[in-house]
A and B are shown apart, each in its own frame.
Chain A
Amino acid sequence: MLVDILVDALRTSVGPTAAAYALLAIGLNMHFGFTGLLNFGQAGFMLVGAYGVAITVSTFGGPLFLGVIVGMLAAVVLALLLGVPTLRLRADYLAITTIAAAEILRLLFRSTAAEPVTGGVFGLRQFGGAFFALNPLPDDRAYLGPLAASAGRMWVMLVGWSVVLLMTLLVWALIRSPWGRVIRSIREDEDAARSLGKNVFAYKMQSLVLGGVIGAIGGALFALSLQTVQPDTFLPQVTFYAFAILILGGTASTFGPVIGAVIFWFILGMLLSGLRTFSDAGLLPEFFGAQAVGAVSLTFVGVLIMSLMIFRPQGILGDKKELQLDVS
């Protein structure tokens, strides 16, 4: 039984969802870890990425690659809309605006008025055909031994983790460049950056767009892996999961979001699988049944963030020395 739970957890930790969340966290790392921008609406960027694919393909019958591009462009537009009015103001304005915008988007996409395009509360499905048609893996067998991934799942995982790797490389290359130096200087003290001739607003905008687009790619991947999108997938807690992953892996460490996502989903996978197993065996009280999944995940994330703050605020890959410096 315990082995089953561990295998389940392992399957979750390397699955497509973990890869999608790694992308969300990589985007947030760009925003928060390196630039110091508080984006509490990463779920909104994820949403436009997911619906970009779904709407283009399902609603309008367009090609898949166009859908991905539409999702990314929508993220650019969203970043500009959020950034232009707020990035000259104090950091908290962006935080409030992003969390509100993500919720507004979700409510808009689930509204009856939008139903002809977005499918309303039911969302959209069956838009990944072209993606799975590209799968070169023979589907007469399972992959990854005990994890027993189907050919389709394996294909999403391959593409997903490759994109994660690519985006990690992109962020790594940017952050070590003079561009990244300006970005980090803004995190440290934007007035100092300004006094040295840096156009702080323009750099914040670039960071917001870049991190948002990476989040949107995560959304597209998420949608493709499930072959369905529903507006209520994109609740505010999605952003907080991504933050938990970022903090767990180590804020402002390039590889942190990847490690963070794998470990986060391993633990969460273990909890959920354990819950299911015990519940099926009748070992849990009635009220602790299948409905408790959401509550357990939320509680877990809360406890995780709290324990990190207490015991390892720098996360797994973060630099403790860096954290202890007085930033004022």
Chain B
Amino acid sequence: MSPDPRPDPLEGTSAEPGVAKADPILTVSDVRRSFGGITAVDVDHLEIPRGLITGLIGPNGAGKTTLFNLLTGFDTPDKGTWTFAGEDLAGVPAHLVARKGMVRTFQLTKALARMTVMENMQLAAVGQTGERLLPALLPSLWRPQEDALTERADELLVRFKLDHMRDQFAGTLSGGQKKLLEMARALMVEPSMVMLDEPMAGVNPALTQSLLGHVKGLRDNEGRTVVFVEHDMDVVFDISDWVVCLAQGAVIAEGRPSEIGSNPAVIDAYLGSSHSEAPVQRRKRHERRAS
């Protein structure tokens, strides 16, 4: 990556859990969620910097997915508030969260199997006139919009190298292609922030590089904020501007990639957990397990 000519937006931000950022897009306060006796998420304070890539790490069961679910309206916390782009989002249903510009993908991909790749893409565009029952019956009302969003979808498919699969059912894609589709589809929503839950899990190494390129592109070419969960530390350190480490639901460390790898709390969290290895060690792909 070429040296960034802009001033470092994280300049002077200290590597402490819950530290304030100069320009946060998402601010989480005192969010807690427990399942029975397990406290899955217990975040005192967390700020996600705007326009940057934040890597969210932590051993299996640390609460990363649950945190995504809570913030995007797919689950309800026991308590807590959060604001996104200045708006209070606690209690807002998932579909409205997405329309406000915070779009997530899923750890287990959710390609719409019996719809074509193109339909998957078209679906994701927001504000479609033809999605309302009565206008739907009059194609002349939505045809121009449909053509425009199809064009946009085609461009994205080319970018994500899925254009040759355009008219195939999404269910016929490989695991890696589904991940690509899910990311491309999320972009059709035109989000200001994308939250990717293990976007590289199960993706073959050849595709991983291109996926990484896309994630960086979201930041560099489109100015979007990215939060992503990933287990491969080489990947995390390669593309993140900032890393947040979760363990047993709480933020135990934050910092630049260079600061996180040597953070004792992080090493402890990984070594102390029975089913994960130290983050500094690159885990072999076939040993990786989905959480």
Residue of A nearest to B110 (CB): A192
Contacts of B115 in A (CB 8 A): 181, 184-185, 188
Contacts of A187 in B (CB 8 A): 114
Stretch from B42-50, B131-139, B240-248 at the A interface: B131-139
Residue contact B172 to A178, C-beta cutoff 8 Å: no
Residue contact A196 to B189, C-beta cutoff 8 Å: yes
Question: With an 8 A cutoff between CB atoms, is A326 at the interface?
Answer: yes
Q: Residue-by-residue, is A189-231 near B (CB-CB < 8 Å gives 1, otherwise 0)?
A: 1011111111110000010000000000000000000000000
The residue that B172 contacts in the complex, of A185, A188, A206, A325, with Cβ under 8 A, is A325
Contacts of A326 in B (CB 8 A): 113, 171
**Alpha-carbon separation in the docked complex, A188 to B109 (Å):** 12
Residue contact A194 to B98, C-beta cutoff 8 Å: yes
Contacts of A194 in B (CB 8 A): 73-74, 93-95, 98
A interface secondary structure, majority: helix
Residue of A nearest to B171 (CB): A325
Residue contact B137 to A173, C-beta cutoff 8 Å: yes
Q: From residue B113, how far is it (CB to closest CB) to chain A in Å?
A: 5
Q: Say whether, besides A178-B142, A179-B131, A188-B115, A195 and B137 are in contact (CB < 8 Å).
A: no
Q: Say whether, besides A177-B136, A179-B133, A321-B169, A188 and B114 are in contact (CB < 8 Å).
A: yes
- Interface residues contributed by chain A, number (CB under 8 Å): 31
Q: From residue B122, how far is it (CB to closest CB) to chain A in Å?
A: 6
Residue of B nearest to A198 (CB): B95
The residue that B98 contacts in the complex, of A178, A185, A197, A321, with Cβ under 8 A, is A197
Contacts of A140 in B (CB 8 A): none
Q: Say whether, besides A194-B98, A195-B106, A197-B189, A178 and B112 are in contact (CB < 8 Å).
A: no
Contacts of B136 in A (CB 8 A): 173-174, 177-180
Question: With an 8 A cutoff between CB atoms, is B83 at the interface?
Answer: no
Question: With an 8 A cutoff between CB atoms, is B104 at the interface?
Answer: yes
Residue contact B110 to A189, C-beta cutoff 8 Å: yes
Contacts of B104 in A (CB 8 A): 195
Contacts of A195 in B (CB 8 A): 72, 74, 94, 98, 103-106, 110, 186
Q: Say whether, besides A191-B110, A325-B169, A177 and B137 are in contact (CB < 8 Å).
A: yes
Residue of B nearest to A203 (CB): B131
19 contacts between A and B (CB under 8 A): A170-B137, A173-B137, A174-B137, A178-B123, A178-B128, A178-B131, A188-B114, A189-B110, A189-B112, A192-B106, A194-B73, A195-B94, A195-B104, A196-B95, A196-B98, A196-B186, A197-B126, A325-B114, A326-B113
Residues on A close to B: CB < 8 A? Answer: 170, 173-174, 177-182, 184-185, 187-189, 191-200, 206, 321-322, 325-328
Beyond the given pairs A181-B119, A184-B114, A196-B98, 11 more chain A to chain B contacts, judged by CB atoms under 8 angstroms and listed by A's residue number, are: A173-B136, A174-B136, A177-B130, A177-B136, A178-B129, A179-B130, A179-B133, A181-B123, A192-B110, A195-B186, A206-B133
